[in-house]
Structure 1
Amino acid sequence: MTDPIPFRKPAGPRRAMVLAAGIGKRMRPVTATVPKPLIEVAGRSMIDRALDRLARAGVEEAVVNVHYLADLVEVHVRKRKAPKVLVSDERGALLETGGGIAKALPLLGNEPFYVMNSDSFWIEGPRPNLDWLAGGWNDAEMDALLMLAPTVASIGYYGPGDFLMDKEGRLSRRPERTIAPFVYSGAAILSPRIFTDLPEGAFSLNLLFDRAIAARRLFGVRMDGIWLHVGTPEAIREAELSVAESAA
Structure 2
Amino acid sequence: MSKPKENSPLTAMVLAAGFGRRMRPLTDQTPKPLLPIAGKPLIEYAIERLAAIGVQKVVINLGYLGPKIRQQLGSGSRWGVDIHYSVEHEEEPLETAGGILKALPLIGDSSFLVVNGDVWCDYDLSQWIERPLPESCPGRLLMVPNPPHNPDGDFGIEGGLLSGTAKPRYTFAGISWLRAETLTEYPKRRECFGLGEVFTFNEDKLQAELYEGDWCDVGTPERLENLDRRLTGES
TM-score computed with the length of structure 1 as normaliser: 0.84
**2:139 corresponds to which residue?**
144
The answer to whether the Cα contact below 8 Å between 1:133 and 1:147 also exists between their aligned partners in 2 is no
Q: Tell which deviates more after alignment, 73-82 or 102-111.
A: 73-82
Residues in 2 aligned to 1:44 and 1:180: alpha-carbon distance in whole angstroms: 35
Q: Tell which deviates more after alignment, 203-212 or 224-233.
A: 224-233
Residues in 1 aligned to 2:106 and 2:134: alpha-carbon distance in whole angstroms: 20
The answer to whether the Cα contact below 8 Å between 1:157 and 1:229 also exists between their aligned partners in 2 is no
Deviation digits for residues 87-144 of structure 1, max 9, x if unmatched?
00102631100000000111111211000000121234xxx1x122333442323102
The answer to whether the Cα contact below 8 Å between 1:147 and 1:185 also exists between their aligned partners in 2 is yes
* Aligned structure 1 segments of 4 or more residues deviating by more than 6 angstroms: none
Count of residues in Structure 1 that have an aligned counterpart in Structure 2: 228
Residues in 2 aligned to 1:54 and 1:76: alpha-carbon distance in whole angstroms: 17
CA 1:157–1:134: 2 relative to 1, 3 Å: farther
Which of residues 39, 45, 50 is equivalent to 1:43? 39
The amino acid of 1:201's aligned partner reads: E
**1:21 corresponds to which residue?**
17
Provide structure 1 residue ranges, at least 5 long, that are not aligned to the other structure: 1-6
**2:206 corresponds to which residue?**
218
Residues in 2 aligned to 1:137 and 1:184: alpha-carbon distance in whole angstroms: 20
The CA RMSD over aligned residues, in Å, is 2.3
**2:197 corresponds to which residue?**
207
Percent of aligned pairs with the same amino acid: 32
Which of residues 165, 176, 190 is equivalent to 2:178? 190
TM-score computed with the length of structure 2 as normaliser: 0.88
CA 1:143–1:78: 2 relative to 1, 3 Å: same
Residues in 2 aligned to 1:242 and 1:23: alpha-carbon distance in whole angstroms: 25
Shift of 1:162: 1.3
Deviation digits for residues 140-196 of structure 1, max 9, x if unmatched?
231020111122xx5x75532112111x31111268xxx844211111100011021
Report SS of the residue matched to 1:30.
coil
**2:112 corresponds to which residue?**
113
Residues in 2 aligned to 1:64 and 1:242: alpha-carbon distance in whole angstroms: 27
Report SS of the residue matched to 1:16.
strand
Residues in 1 aligned to 2:53 and 2:221: alpha-carbon distance in whole angstroms: 29
Provide structure 2 residue ranges, at least 5 long, that are not aligned to the other structure: none
